[in-house]
Amino acid sequence: MSAYCVGGQILDVPATSLPSLVEWTLSKARLGQPKLSGPGRPADPLLVLTEAALEHFGLPTALTDEEKRAGRIPDGHTTVRQLARADWKLTQRGLGPWARIYRPAQGSERQCVQLCIPAWHALDTRHWGHAAQLPPAELARVLGVYATRVMTPRGSTAVTGLELMTALHPPTRASEPDAAGRRHPERNPGSLGAQPVDPAPCEAPDGHPVLAHLPRFHVRGPDEKLFEEAYDWARPMTDEECTLHHLVGIDVNMAFAAGANGLSVGLDAPTHVTNPEFDPKLPGSWLVDLSHVDLSRVRLGKEWVNLDGDLLPSPFTPKGDRPQGPAWYATPTVAYATELGYDVQPLEAWLRHHHGRYLDNWYKRLRDAYLTTMADLGVHTDLPPAEFLTAMDSYTDRDPDLGLVVSAIKATVKGGLGKLRERPRGEGWRPGQPWRALSRPTWRPDIRAAVISRTRINLHRKIVKHAAHTGQYPVAVLSDCVVYASPGPSPLDFLPYRDDKPLPGGFKLGVNPGLVKHEGTQTVLWGEEVRERFDAPTLNLARYIKDGTVTDTDTGE
């Protein structure tokens, strides 16, 4: 057996069983990665077992349907019993696609090895592409680049995204020595702490224990439930837009990562307040009526401008509909209403007075990983707009393996944020009962809501700035993709560049998080035919702008 390591090194592996492989890894191979922060701990070694290795160690090369549902092989399997006899333990998820094998720590010494088994679908094709089919040396390179620039994978990209938050902000640290010279664990400043906190009732998803008092089939409205989600909005095209030739989609790079940058989030449990004064610096959830905000007249900076509000999505709802009364919003959404020039009078709020920029280092780590990898693929941060568009054409073809790393980095952002509000999994759970994710300090739906709120508001701000300057309005918006009718097929045919300089505060082409790239171009005729075909004048064309393919499944037909 051979071990293909990061950097091209190949080691002979004398192990004949999984327990002896673990012993060899910890005593001889000395794999791992340094810790990412002072109070943290080094990363455990990661072993990726190929199908040949699975056969060598007596493991199946594929899981049965029952094992797939369980996410593990049976505890009675020979290899699992071998581990137990050698005093090795498995975590609650057992021996599955991602497994952790360990012995209880002795003092500061940690003995733990992690397994990744691609043949058992450890590497999701939605995020890792064809990585599972790569030869060992190439797979070692892909995972090694990801581990070096992000962190050693701890499971799916979503799990790794969440674990990265904790690795950069460990919940505890060692205190200063007491009178007896002993140190003890204390809360690490700026972290979420070691204990989970309950969300505010409005922040809790349906079925959460804090909502156990509600009737079983009660449906919460916007005045009971915080609903900060990404855009899914579209409108019919105007007669003038139908005379143009093209529909061009632009997509915000790492939009949710950019939304997390510099965002102040709560670090502790919320406090309930009635009739509060709105404070844009205070993270929380606010019950406020924003139906009076009129997009036909808004303030940009110090000036008021008139717009066609009917052609704009509302910034306050994911579907772009104007609010009909009081609703719960995260702080960035309410702050944007005041930025547009309108007064707000919250009726009540759940506020977090202990707060900080918990996600800043997480953003920086992922941003740097993304930009470094894109630069390796020939897409640099200092390219003029036309050169940037050229560099982005088939950029993954220059090094498909690094293209897989880019995809995984993006998935780490979205998946990590999604884990902040992980829902119950598996059978046996009933509404009102806790589920496993609630035991984590990082189960924080309020932080997820704040990031999504800020991301949506950042996009709307650019849309408004663009409309005020050019008179152009989006035809469709889906999450971080915006579609405009354009006289030409390129973003440069409608973005107001002058001497390679963009509209200040508007859309700017570039690779940095928060800047935009070309998502795709179709004809206006295509858009009209698709909507007519499905009898859907507001079918969201942003969903299909990349390659133009629309299926019956997509539209629910």
What span, in angstroms and rounded, lies between the C-alpha atoms of 534 and 529?
Answer: 9
Q: What proportion of the chain, given as a percentage, has pLDDT over 90?
A: 89
Q: What is the per-residue pLDDT across 292-330, written as a single tens digit (0 to 9) for each?
A: 999 999 999 999 999 999 999 999 999 999 999 999 999
| Whether residue 268 has pLDDT greater than 90 | yes
User: Average pLDDT of 4-29?
Assistant: 92
On the question of pLDDT at 105 being above 80, the answer is: no
- Those residues whose C-beta lies under 8 Å from the C-beta of residue 483, and which sit 6 or more positions away, are 247, 248, 249, 474, 475, 476, 477, 541, 542, 545
Using CA atoms, how far apart are residues 543 and 522, in angstroms rounded to an integer?
12
Average pLDDT over the chain reads 95
* Sheet strands (E) in 94-205: 98-106, 109-116, 172-174, 185-187
DSSP β-ladder status, 172-174 and 297-300: unpaired
pLDDT band, residue 30 (cuts 50/70/90):
confident
What does the DSSP assignment read for 45-74? Answer: PEEEPPHHHHHHTT--SS--HHHHHHTS--
Average pLDDT, integer, range 264-285: 98
- Residue 101, CB-side half-sphere exposure with 13 Å CA sphere: 28
Decide: 29 and 12 in contact? Cβ < 8 Å. no
pLDDT in tens, 173-200: 888 887 788 888 889 999 999 999 999 9
Residue position matching structure tokens 């892909």: 142
Q: Measured between alpha carbons, how far is 192 from 271 in angstroms, rounded to an integer?
A: 16
Cβ atoms of 329 and 200 within 8 Å: the answer is: no
Domain boundaries, the chain: 2-128, 263-356
Whole-angstrom Cα distance, residue 58 to residue 278? 62
Please calculate the CA angle 172-178-183 and round it to the nearest 5 degrees: 35
State mean pLDDT over 406-434: 93
The pair of three-digit structure tokens given for residue 454, joined into one six-digit string? 């800020």
What is the C-alpha to C-alpha distance for residues 474 and 71, in angstroms, rounded to an integer? 44
Q: CA 17, CA 84: separation in Å to the nearest integer?
A: 13
Is residue 426 pLDDT above 80, yes or no?
no
Cα–Cα distance for residue pair 468/297, rounded to 1 Å? 10
Q: Which two tokens stand for residue 252?
A: 């915000």
Q: CB of 484 within 8 A of CB of 475?
A: yes
Residue in the structure block whose two tokens are 């690094």 = 402
Is the pLDDT reported for residue 7 higher than 50?
yes
